[in-house]
Every structure is written in C-alpha cells, then in structure tokens.
Amino acid sequence: MKEHRARVTGLTGQSGAGKTTVSRVFAQNGFAVIDADLISREVTQKGQPCLDELAEAFGRDIITSEGTLDRRKLGGIVFSDKEKLRQLNGIIYPYIIYRIITRIDELSRAGENHILLDAPTLFEANADDLCDLIISVTADENIRLRRIVSRDDISPEAAKKRFESQYSEHFFISHSDFVIKNNKTPDILTAKAEEVAGRIKEYYNAKANG
C-alpha cells in the first residue's frame, strides 16, 4: 500500500506583503501550517550546532550575553552584503530543510491531507522542490515599506536594504501558481485568501479522485 503523503502548498512573497494573514486564513481552512520562520528560530536556539556555525562565520558579537542569537545584529551584517547573505543561507538552510522534511513526514503519518509551508525564503532555500503548488503574496513597495518600518521597528533605509536582498515581484509572479496582490484592506486580503484556499482544496481533491 502506498504511503500517504499530504499535499504541500508553499506560501512565500515579498517582505511586508501580508503572508501572515494568508497563513492564518489557510489554517482556518484546514491546512496544517509549517512555519519556516519558527523553524529558523528553533535551529538557532542556544546550544544548537547551527548557532555555533553562525558565530564562527560572523563573529561572537552576534551572540547575546544570554547565549542567544542577536537577529538584529546579524541582519545588519547580512542585509548590506550579498556575499555574507549567501554565506548565512548556506549555513542555515540545510538545518531548516531537514526539519521541514521531518515535519511533512510527521504530519503525513498523522493523516493530514493539506499542508501550508509558510516560508519567506522558499525559493532561496530550494524548498519549492517540496511543494505541489506555490502561492506568492505581493504588494507595492511603498505599502510594504510602511508596514515593515512599523512592524519591525526599523528605519526606512534598513527596510529598503532588506527589499534589495529579495526577489522582485516579477520573479514571484512568474514562479507561482497563485499570486495574491495585497494593496488594499485586510478584509479584502482575507477574502482573496479564502478564495485561493478553496480553489486549491478543490484542485487537490480532483487530483485525488481523478
């Protein structure tokens, strides 16, 4: 008998575009959510080998007096230097991918049918290879800038550096099965996400019955 594997939908997009809202809607529609940001925090906790590798690569200054990762300090290093960002990704992504694959297997064995992989760096980590379908959330830069400055308490200049390290809207559009544009109200975004969640479940159900 063939082992059950849940269908995996990847969720990604531009920083500040509204992925968190979309993820919440999918969770409410029966998708088991794997949060890659949460996994990133797990693999860089105190005592984890990934944290030791990061300290060796970027210096002990990125470790707080409590022995935890100073994400703001590390971000200041890598978001202004593309080579250092590549170095960071080369260290952390293998740890994240291993945990994502493990979690997909666990959820599949538990009988889940639909998984949402919420991963801001889905393409950079090659995690798109784990997905059956991909959704990208985009928004105009001025809107995203305002959201990021408010949400993360950073300067507009720091937010723009972060944007420069990420893929363009055109990239996300051309590499996704569904694109949700979020330039309007939260209610409109929620409605769009509800529609896409329904369409994706219909697609997977048709594939399963076909």
Local confidence band at 109 (pLDDT 50, 70, 90 cut-offs): very high
Q: Give the closest residue to 78 by CA, choosing from 90, 66, 94.
A: 90
Mean pLDDT of the chain: 95
Local confidence band at 2 (pLDDT 50, 70, 90 cut-offs): low
Spatial CB neighbours of 41, under 8 Å, sequence gap ≥ 6: none
* pLDDT higher than threshold 90 for residue 74: yes
Q: Give the closest residue to 124 by CA, choosing from 40, 7, 54, 185.
A: 40
Q: Domains of the chain (ranges plus CATH)?
A: 7-201 (3.40.50.300)
Please give the average per-residue pLDDT across 134-158, as a whole number. Answer: 94
Local confidence band at 1 (pLDDT 50, 70, 90 cut-offs): low
> Could you give the C-alpha distances from 20 to 23, 35, 56, 111, in angstroms and in order?
5, 10, 32, 25
Which pLDDT score is estimated for 188?
98
Cα(193)–Cα(24) distance, integer angstroms: 9
Burial class of residue 62, CB neighbours in 10 A (0-12, 13-18, 19+): buried
Cα(165)–Cα(81) distance, integer angstroms: 9
Local confidence band at 164 (pLDDT 50, 70, 90 cut-offs): confident
Tokens of 54: 């990061």
Weakest-pLDDT range from 28-32, 73-77, 113-117, 196-200: 73-77
Which pLDDT score is estimated for 73?
93
Three-state DSSP class for residue 78: helix
Please give the average per-residue pLDDT across 125-150, as a whole number. Answer: 96
Which pLDDT score is estimated for 165?
84
* pLDDT higher than threshold 80 for residue 210: no
* pLDDT higher than threshold 90 for residue 30: yes
